[in-house]
Amino acid sequence: MTPFKHLFSPVTIGSMELPNRIMSTAHQTNHVVDGIPTPDMAAYHVERAKGGAGLLILEAAAVHSSGMLTTHTIAGYDPKIVPAYQELVKEVHRYGTKVVQQLFHGGREVVSSDYRSAAWAPSAVPSLRFGTMPRPMSIDEIQDVIEGFAISARLAKEGGIDGVEICCSHGYLPAQFWSEHTNKRTDEYGGSFRNRMRFIVEVIERVWQEVGKGFTVGIRMSADEMTMDGNDIKDSVKIVEHLVEQVRIDFINVTAGDSSTYAGSTHIVPPSPVKHAYVSPQAFKIRMAGAVPVFVGSRIVDPVEAEQIVAKGKADVVGMTRSLIVDPKMPNKAKAGDHHLIDACLGCLQACIGHYHKGLPIGCVQTPATGKERQVQTLKERSRENKKVLVIGAGPAGLKAALTLDELGHEVILADKGEEIGGLLNVLKRAPMRQELAETMLDNFRRKLAVSKVDVRLGRDITSTDVITLSPDAVFCAVGSRPFIPDIPGIDDERVLTVDELFRKRDRAIGKNVLVFDFGGDWPGMEAAIDLAEKGHQVTLITSKLYIGEEVHQYLRNEYLKKLYQLKVKLLPHYDLGEIKNGQAVIRNLFSYEREVITDWDSIVLSLGRVPNTELYDDIKDMAPEVHQIGDCLAPRTLEEATHEGFMTSLQIGIQEEGDKVNIKADEAVVE
């Protein structure tokens, strides 16, 4: 019997009978060409259906040409979309999973930088985050968009889709109409509360007229926009009470946040360390107000959390999107009692929403097969000969390689000179805002190693002699990197230390005033500054980037900046460290080349990038039939490249057909 009896109980939502309460909410895959979903999108969703998800809500489909969020947005209004829907639904339905299409118009919230007409909105109120000044919609344009929702819903039904979700969340067009802060109209679509609600009421009415019976229609809304002047839960309860009086709604999918501000946008895809399941109390209030089934998401990453939400009546269906991104088999594992085998989401945002914002296909730092399901399956199906493989280094790259090789049937030895696995994750877990991420990833690796056949040898500093003795068929050199120390005057001052040393040597005297120098615009410099400021130091964070946290995903950067400002850390962009002379730190402006002197400091912390540890590879590169450099040992980059190279390179080992090569770029995986 499953330990999650509520989570795996069936439920009726409109015309749909869901086999369980686990849902994948709408999220962009970027597997869209010319407005039409590709076979790669279908393969991505089929994998989640096969893994046991009860409901898949497909990514935003624009209902009108004026609502194309990016060049990778589904054109839900285009009749050519029907065959693509049919192909996807046919495969998903084989597993009993239902499919809903989200219908979308962003209004003033425009991401695309391609040439396009002016953004449409109820009124000329700009989006603070995107800097978009929309033009007010005419009555005819309003009617065109309403008709677009109806047509898009009909096309979805023709394609076999089970229902539609009208996106009213995160300050998108319907919410722009119902909010008094963004709707300044004086006609029948503005002014009074009833008039501001007219747009969404007419949208839902027209959708029902178009689709008729045997279909499901719901909405997604932000219970709290989490921003100044945004709607809060009281406003949302009033909206729901009005809607259920006016029109039929089969479900309300509750989230939080607002796209138009930095603070609000964090909650579109909340990162670690945002609290788990934090929207569920608000979902319960919406459920009580509307008396219709309620869905809820926002950092619900564990079946235990989801079970409690359903059992306590806070929601009827639970969005576990990122859990399904990292582990498509999560529902089936939970149902079978194999909770300990589930890969938990890190909340890093790097390859899921991070890829979307870079225009890349969806991915996952921990699961490189995500978004590449068809290509990876092709590689896994190649006939291969089992090999003896030595993996040197038990950081993320080496761990991913060892576990992948073991899964493929190879004999694997994993060696590391340290006494614990994890590599730089053991530094990361001491960083205040990355602790959850690091501990989660380490725990995932530990649990997988425990049930694998990998021969783990810790405390073993592998040398070329060991390689000769072990005589492996292939070697993976994944021995990581070390901090880069620039060759500048005074850098050997005893008061200078690296971020690694800061987090590893907690007993080191730091002094009151600390300068943190950041080169990469990534997490280490910000983490060092936050850690020191929380301990009472006066901290100045100096970066050579255009702005603090430039290389960190915006939603996570929002949280870093909030914390840095709360701690009164002084932020100084556009400077690097020139020299340390006579107790003075000389910094250089990267635009004017002017130098400034800082005299009041006690310690300097360096976060200036890393260099690969290549010495071992140079010694052993000719000592086995195959020797591969992966991760930081090849070139210091991020967690994503480390795990991706460990995974994709492992798929090459033992392949017998001539000519098969794996392209191991982080944004694609193809057979050449």
CATH (domain of 496): 3.50.50.60
Q: Each residue of 514-532: b (16+ CB within 10 Å) or e?
A: bbbbbbbbbbbbbbbbbbb
* 280 and 234 part of one domain: yes
* 268 and 360 part of one domain: yes
Neighbours of 438 (CB within 10 A): 21
Residue 578 lies in a domain: yes
* 503 and 571 part of one domain: yes
563: containing domain: 485-608
pLDDT of amino acid 69: 84
pTM (global) more than 0.85: yes
The percent helix, strand, coil of the chain (3-state, each to 5) is 35, 20, 45
**Which percentage of the chain shows pLDDT scores above 70?**
97
CA distance 211 to 77: 14
CA max distance for the chain:
84
Neighbours of 464 (CB within 10 A): 14
Task: pLDDT band for 70, please (50, 70, 90 cuts).
Answer: confident
Is the pLDDT confidence value at 387 over 90?
A: yes
* 281 and 335 part of one domain: yes
For residue 19, which amino acid is it?
A: P
Is the pLDDT confidence value at 596 over 80?
A: yes
Cα three-residue angle 417-423-429, rounded to 5 degrees: 135
Q: Each residue of 261-300: b (16+ CB within 10 Å) or e?
A: bbbbbbbbbbbbbbebbebbebbbbbbebbebbbbbbbbb
**What does the pLDDT average to over 352-381?**
96
Structure-block tokens of residue 13: 């939502």
Residue 2 lies in a domain: no
Q: Are 396 and 639 in contact (CB under 8 A)?
A: yes
CA-CA distances (angstroms) from residue 481 to 301, 395, 420, 632? 31, 10, 17, 5
Task: pLDDT band for 109, please (50, 70, 90 cuts).
Answer: very high
CA distance 159 to 393: 50
Is the pLDDT confidence value at 113 over 70?
A: no
Residue 406 lies in a domain: yes
Q: What average pLDDT is seen over the chain?
A: 95
Residue 204 lies in a domain: yes
* 244 and 359 part of one domain: yes
* 362 and 386 part of one domain: no
* 318 and 455 part of one domain: no
Is the pLDDT confidence value at 505 over 90?
A: no
CA distance 440 to 255: 24
* 303 and 331 part of one domain: yes
Indicate the residue among 336, 371, 406 that finishes a domain: 371
State pLDDT tens for residues 263-314: 999 999 999 999 999 999 999 999 999 889 999 999 999 999 999 999 999 9
**Which percentage of the chain shows pLDDT scores above 90?**
92
State pLDDT tens for residues 197-226: 999 999 999 999 999 999 999 999 999 999
Q: Are 473 and 388 in contact (CB under 8 A)?
A: yes
Q: Are 75 and 35 in contact (CB under 8 A)?
A: yes
Domain count, the chain: 3
Task: pLDDT band for 478, please (50, 70, 90 cuts).
Answer: very high
* 364 and 409 part of one domain: no
Indicate the residue among 352, 371, 390 that finishes a domain: 371
Coil, helix or strand at residue 392: strand
Residue 668 lies in a domain: no
Task: pLDDT band for 124, please (50, 70, 90 cuts).
Answer: very high
Query: For 110-124, 300-314, 343-357, 435-449, which range has the lowest pLDDT when averaged over its residues?
Result: 110-124
Residue 656 lies in a domain: no
Query: For 65-74, 164-173, 551-560, which range has the lowest pLDDT when averaged over its residues?
Result: 65-74
Task: pLDDT band for 118, please (50, 70, 90 cuts).
Answer: confident
Residue 655 lies in a domain: no
- For residue 542, what are the β-bridge partners? 517, 572
Task: pLDDT band for 667, please (50, 70, 90 cuts).
Answer: very low
Structure-block tokens of residue 551: 């290389």
Indicate the residue among 371, 401, 419 that finishes a domain: 371
Q: Find the Cα–Cα–Cα–Cα dihedral 456, 458, 460, 465, rounded to 10°.
A: 10
pLDDT of amino acid 666: 42
Q: Are 183 and 190 in contact (CB under 8 A)?
A: yes
* 470 and 590 part of one domain: no
pLDDT of amino acid 131: 87
pLDDT of amino acid 372: 98
CA distance 531 to 430: 9
State pLDDT tens for residues 220-243: 999 999 998 899 999 999 999 999
Task: pLDDT band for 670, please (50, 70, 90 cuts).
Answer: very low
pLDDT of amino acid 119: 93
CA-CA distances (angstroms) from residue 68 to 58, 78, 118, 357? 15, 12, 12, 15
The enclosing domain of 65 has a CATH number of 3.20.20.70
Is the pLDDT confidence value at 174 over 60?
A: yes
**What does the pLDDT average to over 657-668?**
49
Its sign, for the CA torsion 523, 528, 531, 532, is: negative
pLDDT of amino acid 115: 58
Residue 658 lies in a domain: no
3-class SS string, 103-155: EECCCCCCCCCCCCCCCEECCCCCECCCCECCEECCHHHHHHHHHHHHHHHHH
* 434 and 569 part of one domain: no
Residues 6+ apart with CB under 8 A from 284: 294, 313, 314, 315
pLDDT of amino acid 539: 99
* 425 and 512 part of one domain: no
The enclosing domain of 398 has a CATH number of 3.40.50.720
